[in-house]
Amino acid sequence: MLRDLELIKTFPDARVSWSINTLDETFRREMDNAVSIERRLAAMKAFHQAGVRTTCFISPIFPGITDAEAIIRRAKDQCNLIWLENLNLRGSYKAVILDHIRDRYPELVPLYQEIYSQGSRLYWEALDARLKAFTAELGLDYVTNDDSMKRPFDVPPVIVNYFYHEQIRKSAGKAAGKAGGRPAPTRPPAPGTPTRSSG
């Protein structure tokens, strides 16, 4: 990505995102074979210092594993936006992840059963409240489902809670049918991909 920095700087309103859901390289290796967290953070810093808008995409947040507060503290001075998205488990991926939790984090099995088998949202509601208080202490704005990039470049990043996007998208889709096709909220840009922002 760094090799494309000079090119991306020429794009009007460019934005580049990185997915960082842990600062623990051991857990990162368990989940993917992508570049290290330190390389991602270094690239984010380089782009931000070069004047390119950057997004730290804390996704997916693994209950009981992802330390969102630590990631926010680490990234807040080198990005314009911090997205928070919960871990959603569907299809065969659900069994793979739950098996991994049973094998490597057995103490978290009751929590994952509560969330992904019983459908409880209590964990996400409590995390939402905790992060709202945490970001307030840091002097950061905390919003829900707002992908606005119209803020001045040099102000602190805004934290965007995207925990309930699936529910919101479904509700918006139903409302769109009644209102004549108004689109539902969109997902954030793919991590590591330069995009055009709206402002």
* Boundaries of every domain in the chain: 2-196
pLDDT value, residue 100: 96
The pTM score is 0.81
88-108: string of b/e by CB count within 10 Å (b at 16+)? ebeeeeeeebbeebeeebeee
pLDDT value, residue 114: 97
pLDDT value, residue 68: 98
pLDDT value, residue 197: 37
pLDDT value, residue 73: 98
pLDDT at 20 over 80: yes
Percent of the chain at pLDDT > 70 equals 80
Q: What is the 3-state secondary structure (H, E, C) of the chain?
A: CHHHHHHHCCCCCEEEEEECCCCCHHHHHHHCCCCCHHHHHHHHHHHHHCCCEEEEEEEEECCCCCCHHHHHHHHCCCCCEEEEEECCCCHHHHHHHHHHHHHHCHHHHHHHHHHHCCCCCHHHHHHHHHHHHHHHHHCCCEEECCCCCCCCCCCCCEEEECCCHHHHHHHHHHHHHHHCCCCCCCCCCCCCCCEECCC
pLDDT value, residue 199: 33
Q: If you average pLDDT over residues 42-46, what whole number do you get? A: 96
Q: If you average pLDDT over residues 54-67, what whole number do you get? A: 96
User: 81-140, pLDDT tens digit by residue?
Assistant: 999 999 999 889 999 999 999 999 999 999 999 999 999 999 999 999 999 999 999 999
pLDDT at 173 over 60: no
pLDDT value, residue 67: 98
How would residue 12 be classed by pLDDT, with cut points 50, 70 and 90? confident
pLDDT value, residue 151: 84
